[in-house]
């Protein structure tokens, strides 16, 4: 059975990421083709990248990096939940991604973006980053807008059609995660 992480990509107080993660998880756990787990980058207390060697060296010296590495290594694929901050992913998500290298390689990822424009520019930014990490991002993505999927721009209430979009993305993440398994082995 494949293991897929649902990664909350924001650490900001009052963030919408937890509500979005719970929605994704509730839909994903109905499936029988993979196991899902919410991974909150805030739980790892990653300071601005503080490892003396680059991530591609795999020589981690800090306990927080080793814990983060072990967690990310344990998954076959990922669903990134990313807010859009100034047309990009959050600095916290970029920092968390940059801590590692090989742990991301030859795995699949889907993106759930959220923001004023559905997080589409953050998703495109994340696609560029993922390419360098040999992380295959699937075509389908969820774009949640503040004026369509959040009541008063703060309370998460996704439009009903978003569940179908999410399931299409999950189908692709699971299929690609399985197919890339031969490269990981």
What tens digit of pLDDT does each residue of 111-147 get? Answer: 999 999 999 999 999 999 999 999 999 999 999 999 9
Q: What is the DSSP string of the chain?
A: -EEEEEEE----TT-SHHHHHHHHHHHHTT-SSEEEEEEEGGGG---S---SS-GGG----SHHHHHHHHHHHT-SEEEEEEE-BTTB--HHHHHHHHT-SGGGTTEEEEEEEEETTTTHHHHHHHHHHHHHTTEEEEEEEEEEEHHHHEETTTEE---TTHHHHHHHHHHHHHHHHHHTHHHH-
**pTM listed for this prediction:** 0.97
**Under a CB-based contact definition with an 8 Å cutoff, are residues 55 and 96 in contact?**
no
- Residue 44 phi/psi, 5° resolution? -100, -5
2-184 belongs to which homologous superfamily?
Flavodoxin domain (3.40.50.360)
Q: How far apart are CA 104 and CA 5, in angstroms?
A: 12
**pLDDT grade for 185, boundaries at 50, 70 and 90:** confident
Q: How far apart are CA 125 and CA 106, in angstroms?
A: 19
- Residue 20 phi/psi, 5° resolution? -65, -40
pLDDT computed for residue 154 by the predictor:
85
Q: How far apart are CA 36 and CA 14, in angstroms?
A: 24
**pLDDT grade for 153, boundaries at 50, 70 and 90:** confident
What tens digit of pLDDT does each residue of 55-84 get? Answer: 999 999 999 999 999 999 999 999 999 999
As a whole number, mean pLDDT of residues 167-185 equals 96
């Amino acid at each position: 059975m494949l293991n897929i992480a649902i990664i909350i990509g924001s650490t900001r107080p009052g963030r919408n990421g937890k509500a979005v993660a719970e929605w994704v998880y509730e839909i994903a756990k109905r499936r029988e083709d993979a196991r899902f787990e919410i991974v909150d980058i805030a739980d790892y207390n990653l300071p601005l990248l503080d490892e003396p060697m680059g991530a591609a060296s795999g020589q981690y010296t800090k306990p927080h990096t080793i814990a983060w590495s072990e967690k990310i290594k344990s998954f076959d694929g990922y669903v990134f939940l990313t807010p859009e901050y100034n047309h990009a992913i959050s600095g916290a998500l970029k920092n968390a991604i940059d801590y590692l290298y090989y742990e991301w390689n030859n795995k699949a990822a889907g993106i759930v973006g959220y923001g004023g424009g559905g997080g589409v520019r953050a998703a495109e930014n994340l696609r560029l980053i993922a390419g360098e990490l040999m992380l295959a991002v699937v075509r389908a993505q969820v774009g949640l807008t503040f004026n369509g999927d959040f009541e008063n721009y703060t309370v998460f209430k996704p439009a009903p059609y978003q569940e179908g979009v999410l399931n299409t993305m999950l189908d692709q993440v699971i299929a690609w995660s399985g197919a890339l398994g031969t490269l990981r082995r």
